[in-house]
Amino acid sequence: MRRADRLFQIVQYLRGGRLVTAAMLGERLEVSERTIYRDIADLQSTGVPIDGEAGVGYIMRQGYDLPPLMFSRDEIVALVTGARLARAWGGASVARAAEEALIKIEAVLPDSEKSRISRTEIHAPDFMMSQDNRNRFDLLERAADEKMILQISYLDVNGTATGRRVQPLGLWFWGKVWTLAAWCELRTDFRTFRLDRIESILETGEAFRPERGRTLADYYRLMERGEGRHDRDQCP
């Protein structure tokens, strides 16, 4: 949990009108009492009216609430659209996070704007993305983030299977089709692979270091110059 989220949760717990100890907060938020003491002190220093002391407990004086986030009408529509697209076309973890994000956005909006989410008539069907593709998405996204080498079995446009050892760099969405941009160790060059044609993925447990000429930024530059291999159907 991010620290900003933890501070927000502390305020919510203390708004209940009952004395809450640091031990109780630490257990609920899965952090140490020492961390809770620091968080409480930081909240008090910013003007949050928290009464109490270490070893006794804390309570918030009545009448305090977090100021609502103020989004414009277009900003709300943009956030809802992005979350719905992520929920429909993202991996399983991303889809869950998108749903939770919508709930959080609604929670902090002023009462006059809370209905804006349900009134945003921009939708994306969530039955187009198979569960297998969602699982592949999560695994590939995590591997790209953690810089982990993968061994994949891939079917080309002719249905021919090939084994590739790749350094995953990022995921690209082309509208109905996701591709993995990667450095292919077999071809010693950039390649893209359609997620729905990846038959299997093996985590090697090996990490790679970004090298000059093999990064996603390098791939972007090749794409901009029209030199990159970005055919979504063939990855020779």
Per-residue pLDDT of the chain (236 residues), as tens digits, is 678 778 888 888 887 778 899 999 999 898 999 999 999 998 888 888 889 888 889 988 877 766 555 678 898 899 999 999 999 999 999 999 998 888 888 887 878 788 888 899 999 888 888 899 999 999 999 999 999 999 999 998 888 999 999 999 999 999 889 999 999 999 999 999 999 999 999 999 999 999 999 999 999 888 888 765 544 444 54
> What pLDDT sits at residue 66?
62
| CA end-to-end distance (rounded Å), the chain | 42
Q: What is the chain's length?
A: 236
Q: Within 10 Å of residue 68's Cβ, how many Cβ atoms?
A: 14
Query: What's the number of CA atoms in the CB half-sphere (13 Å) around residue 188?
Result: 0
CB contact burial 54-63 (16+ within 10 A = b; e otherwise): eeebbbbeee
> What pLDDT sits at residue 234?
44
> What pLDDT sits at residue 107?
80
Q: Outline which parts of the chain fall under CATH 2.30.30.
A: 131-224
Cα distance between residue 109 and residue 138, in whole Å: 30
3-state secondary structure of 202: strand
Q: Which CATH class is domain 3-60?
A: mainly alpha
The position carrying tokens 């399983």 is 92
Q: Outline which parts of the chain fall under CATH 1.10.10.10.
A: 3-60
Q: Which CATH code is given to the segment(s) 131-224? A: 2.30.30
Is residue 200 within 8 A of residue 180, CB to CB? The reply is no
> What pLDDT sits at residue 61?
83
pTM of the model as a whole = 0.65
